[in-house]
Amino acid sequence: MENKFTFAKALIHAAGDFIKDNMVQDLQIEEKTRFDDLVTNLDKATQELLITRIKQAYPNDNIMAEENNIHHPISDGNVWVLDPIDGTVNFVVQGANFAVMIAYYENGKGQFGLIYDVANDIMYSGGGQFDVYANDKRLTSYQDVALKRTLIGCNASMFSCNYCGIRDLVDQTLGVRVYGGAGLSMAYVMTGRLLAYFSYIQPWDYAAAKIMGEKLGYVLLTLDGKEPDFATRQKVMFVPKQKLSTIQTYLD
């Protein structure tokens, strides 16, 4: 597993370098389901790079990935879960605040996760048997903070419509932040910049953070407190386990 983790860290750096080298050129932007659901040629090319190298190194391993409907079930064997560019809108508009994400599961059990903040060159990695780091700084487990001294990260529309009472929870805190990328928002939870994160996301959006977070005292659950299904888009929360019951008192 040590070797696989080392391989994954080198791979995610290579993917980040590939994006940086190519993002200066004209992007080809496509609209998927609607005008604000974007994919670029670089999302696809980066996913290809990731898959090709994984298959070269581990030909019997399987892939679940964002683009091109590659959806091997999480519970079946060795599965790499890939999001080549998480936060594509930020990538397109800002050229920053996006991440490459890799998670590795064996028969449904998370072994390690990686979130690479390409623009800021910060790699969050670890989980399972590995300590969690932001580059060379080891992240510490969640330390309790009073709600009224925290911030909540959230999907804008779930906040706006007070979905499940999320805005009632936010009202107990110093406010909401909307950053537009699931991976980096969850990295900010793990570094204490946000207490919790709420969104409506896919397995490749939460797979890496879930593994790392569990090592640090966080849980990734659906809004009704169940394990996510790793198959469909779901409304989830990423919260400190120690704060879960407090948070749930504000949620419907």
Interface residue list for its own copies (CB under 8 A): 29, 35-36, 38, 89-90, 92-94, 96, 148-151, 156, 159-160, 167, 170, 173-180, 188, 192-193
User: Minimum distance from CB of 7 to its own copies (Å)?
Assistant: 31
Show binding-site residues for Mg(2+): 66, 83, 85-86, 205
Q: Which residue, among 135, 49, 59, has the nearest Cα to 84 in the 3D structure?
A: 49
Q: Provide the b/e sequence for 196-209 (b: ≥16 CB within 10 Å).
A: bbbbebbbbbbbbb
User: Minimum distance from CB of 91 to its own copies (Å)?
Assistant: 11
Nearer to its own copies, 59 or 175 (CB): 175
Nearer to its own copies, 57 or 178 (CB): 178
Query: Are 134 and 187 a contacting pair, CB within 8 Å?
Result: yes
Nearer to its own copies, 37 or 224 (CB): 37
Nearer to its own copies, 55 or 193 (CB): 193
Q: Which residue, among 72, 15, 5, has the nearest Cα to 49 in the 3D structure?
A: 15
User: Minimum distance from CB of 92 to its own copies (Å)?
Assistant: 7
Q: Provide the b/e sequence for 178-188 (b: ≥16 CB within 10 Å).
A: ebbbbbbbbbb
Q: Residue 113 and residue 103: Cα distance in Å, rounded?
A: 4
Nearer to its own copies, 80 or 159 (CB): 159
User: Minimum distance from CB of 160 to its own copies (Å)?
Assistant: 5
List, in sequence order, every residue forming a beta bridge with 87; answer none if it has no partner. none
Q: Which residue, among 200, 216, 145, has the nearest Cα to 174 in the 3D structure?
A: 145
Nearer to its own copies, 128 or 181 (CB): 181
Q: Which residue, among 29, 84, 23, has the nearest Cα to 52 in the 3D structure?
A: 84
| Beta-strand runs (E) in 88-143 | 99-106, 109-117, 122-127, 130-134, 137-138
User: Minimum distance from CB of 35 to its own copies (Å)?
Assistant: 5
For residue 69, the SS3 value is: coil
Supply 104's token pair: 């590795």
User: Minimum distance from CB of 208 to its own copies (Å)?
Assistant: 21
